[in-house]
Copies of this chain bind each other. A is one copy, B any other.
Amino acid sequence: MRGSRTTCLKCFCQFLDYETPKVIVVKNQNLGIIYRLVQLLIIIYFVWYVFIIQKGYQAREMGPESSVITKVKGISTSEVPGLGEKVWDVAEYVKPPEGGSVFTIITRTENTALQTLRTCPESSSAPTAKCGSSGDCLPGEMHMLGNGQKTGRCVHLDNGTERTCEIFGWCPVEDKSVLSESLQKFVPEFTILIKNSIHFPQFRFSKGNIDESKGDYLKMCTFHPLTDLYCPIFKLGFIVQEAGENFTELAQKGGVIGVVINWNCNLDLDPSQCIPQYSFRRLDPPNEASSGYNYRFAKYYRQNDSESRVLIKAYGIRIDVIVHGEAGKFSLIPTIINLATALTSIGVGSFLCDWILLTFMNKNEVYSDRKFDKVWKNQEESKTAVTSCTDLSTQESSPVETSNGIQL
């Protein structure tokens, strides 16, 4: 009767047994109330915080692919004492002109007179420039913060008494005699169009910050967070003001302002719900020694085979368009992980209650006797290796047997 076929069948039958833990039901309201309260708290935390607030059922993707196209419009004038007025248009004050995500709007320039490569006295502000005699000027020496290579002669500055080392370089050197042109008069009126399109590859979701349905409205609209959200045309004055900066000061010393476009999209909703949020922040450390933002560039000319240049130190407002995005969409894995965590956590409640039960309510061990069903070694025939523990346990557990015991 105990053939291999039967054994195999037995295995299979055992495989189909359903096992469920045996449970002690403690009829005790107080404990029950505690138990249910703990469970309630845990459930509330998960349903409300994890799933509703934190959207624990969504997979998230950060850092979308992004492309930014900018276009500045506007025109301004600058007054150069003595040289009269100058008109600045886009081709002149936007650097670089290509309309990328980082560009500078020049607000002030300091122009040196036409320079050529020759010898002239070093600027008195340069280090190791001042000299008493030619002995102070090492021929061929160059100081990294100077303007050229020392010839070794010590010469008078144009403005008379003061003497500095003569250098070979682009002369005349940049010094206090530079002409400052400020075109900030109309700059706050300049408008900046920012076209931004993003793409979340994981979710295959693309969107732009321009409403392509409405046709020509881009021609006249300006941005407003409520009425004209999909019209990303910003007045420079508006940007600076939103960043909490003083325009005049900024235009004077220059600075960098970040236009942060933040896409926070819940892709379980309609795509139209995924709207860009614009924020503006100054990015260069303001209260600091080398404050402000400026850079030097030169325009090169050639006249009867000799090259000359105009050196321009440009102060400006640099706009950094920073795109930041996050998208969330329902996904099984995070959902199930959070659900499993919830289940486990609910279980935690019983730890607490078991402890209460067995510590405070356990009058002459009535609960522990029913909960714990002790089995000790000497129930096995193996009398070998009887240790102090088994002895002990036998002793202290003997009385229990009557209460619970099926003596084998």
> A28 touching B377 by the CB < 8 A rule?
yes
A289 and B87 in contact (CB under 8 A), knowing A29-B389, A350-B20? Answer: no
Chain A interface, number of residues (Cβ within 8 angstroms) = 160
Whole-angstrom CA separation of A98 from B309 in the bound complex: 18
* A41 located at the interface, meaning its Cβ lies under 8 Å from any Cβ of chain B in the complex: no
Which A residues from 346 to 381 make CB contacts under 8 A with B? Answer: 347-348, 350, 353-354, 357, 361, 363-364, 366-367, 370-377, 379-381
* A226 located at the interface, meaning its Cβ lies under 8 Å from any Cβ of chain B in the complex: no
> A97 touching B296 by the CB < 8 A rule?
yes
A79 CB → nearest B CB, Å: 11
A255 CB → nearest B CB, Å: 10
- Chain B residues near A74: list those with CB within 8 A: 144
A73 CB → nearest B CB, Å: 6
Chain A binding site: helix, strand, loop or mixed by DSSP? mixed
> B25 touching A392 by the CB < 8 A rule?
no
> B91 touching A374 by the CB < 8 A rule?
no
What would 8 more interface pairs be, CB under 8 Å, given A25-B373, A27-B377?
A13-B388, A13-B389, A25-B372, A73-B145, A86-B117, A96-B96, A340-B340, A361-B380
- Chain B residues near A371: list those with CB within 8 A: 20, 22-23
12 residue pairs of the A-B complex, CB under 8 angstroms, read A17-B26, A18-B25, A18-B357, A20-B371, A21-B21, A86-B117, A91-B312, A97-B295, A212-B288, A303-B303, A336-B345, A340-B344
> B26 touching A24 by the CB < 8 A rule?
no
Q: What 0/1 readout, one digit per residue, does chain A (287-306) give for beta carbons within 8 Å of chain B?
A: 11110010111111111000
- Chain B residues near A318: list those with CB within 8 A: 69, 98
* A320 located at the interface, meaning its Cβ lies under 8 Å from any Cβ of chain B in the complex: yes
A104 and B98 in contact (CB under 8 A), knowing A21-B21, A285-B197? Answer: yes
> B285 touching A208 by the CB < 8 A rule?
yes
Whole-angstrom CA separation of A184 from B103 in the bound complex: 28
